[in-house]
Chain A
Amino acid sequence: MALNPMEQFEVKPVSWAQHPLFHIGHSPIYFTNQALWMIVVFVSLSLFLTLAVSKGRVVPTRMQSLAELSYEFVGGMIDMTSGPAGFRFFPLIFTIFMFILFCNGFGLLPIAFTVTSQIAITFFLTAVVILTAIVTGFVKHGFGFLKLFVIKAPVVIMVPMVLLEFISFCARPISLSMRLFANMLAGHTMLKVMAGFVISLGAAGGAYTLLAAAPEALIVGLTALEFLVAFLQAYVFAILSCIYLSEALHLHDNH
């Protein structure tokens, strides 16, 4: 029963499309399980948001209030971190939040592939946020954007602080993408390791079979925890994106 808990993260062509779709240079491009689940997430997200508000009732239906709730949630998040000026980034933050939330949520289905457990995906999302922040900063403040690294302090403190701020700025893309990727990876690996315990105990026979109920119960609890983590990581990603964009807009001034 040596099941590999990391096997679920393997990106491979889907079973009904084993041939490459086309070639870029000499690299074959496949229709992978990752692409399939991103399409599933995209279609269901679009359908949910479109259908929920298509009628636009004054007294919202259950689905419409879910859509409104997520809209207001992201709106409140932006308002709290960067004030009214931040609302030009509402489409970006809302898209990123809902996409990550749906990817994490769909990833918890037993058959599904977790799109956000690939660092390529999370790093791309991070790159969009960080590049938007840098471009916004330079467009709005010109080279004054570099004041982001400078704090008002005596020179002895300021010079090392500039260095530290610069390092922390450079670490942001790594930290933002690593957090989401590692959380999804660790959570799903943990579930599969526990599932491995159930199988080996169940196969052992005799009194051990009864013992298999213990890790089974643990899996139920851990799955509930994973739902919390799925939401929390989407929230944390969105709020940190808000803060980075707000810093680019306002530098160190309080808004």
Chain B
Amino acid sequence: MDVQAAKQIGAGLATIAFVGSGIGIGVVFGNYISGALRNPGAASTQFTNLYIGYALCELQGLFGLLIALILLFT
């Protein structure tokens, strides 16, 4: 297997990072909604925390994308 082929396979494998990202975003929004249904009064105060959690989860997947891009274009 030459280096180019190994890089392409590695870039494909790096996208597995999005599995964790997807699970994380699901957990964040799911828990927010279940919390918001229990206590709708407090829901709007936690809006910032919701998006911080979302941003952090998404980032973990994007690191995988970063590795894929580095493998493909360097």
Q: What is the interface of chain A, defined by CB distance below 8 A to chain B?
A: 77, 80-81, 175, 178-179, 182-183, 186, 232, 235-236, 239-240, 243
Contacts and interface: CB of A to CB of B under 8 A. Distances in A.
A236 B52 CA distance: 7
A178 B48 contact: no
Interface string B21-63: 0000000000000000000000000001001101100110011
B59 A80 contact: no
Nearest to B58: A179
A178 B51 contact: no
Given A80-B48, A239-B48, A178 B62 contact: yes
21 contacts: A77-B48, A175-B59, A178-B59, A178-B63, A178-B66, A179-B58, A179-B59, A179-B62, A182-B66, A183-B58, A183-B62, A186-B65, A232-B51, A235-B51, A236-B51, A236-B52, A236-B54, A236-B55, A240-B52, A240-B55, A243-B52
Contacts of B65: 182, 186
A179 B66 CA distance: 10
Contacts of A243: 52
Chain B: interface size category: 10 to 19
A82 B36 CA distance: 24
B52 A239 contact: yes
Contact of A182 (B48, B51, B62): B62
Given A240-B55, A243-B52, 14 more contacts: A80-B48, A175-B59, A178-B62, A178-B63, A178-B66, A179-B55, A179-B59, A182-B62, A182-B66, A183-B58, A232-B51, A236-B52, A236-B54, A240-B52
B59 to A, nearest CB: 5
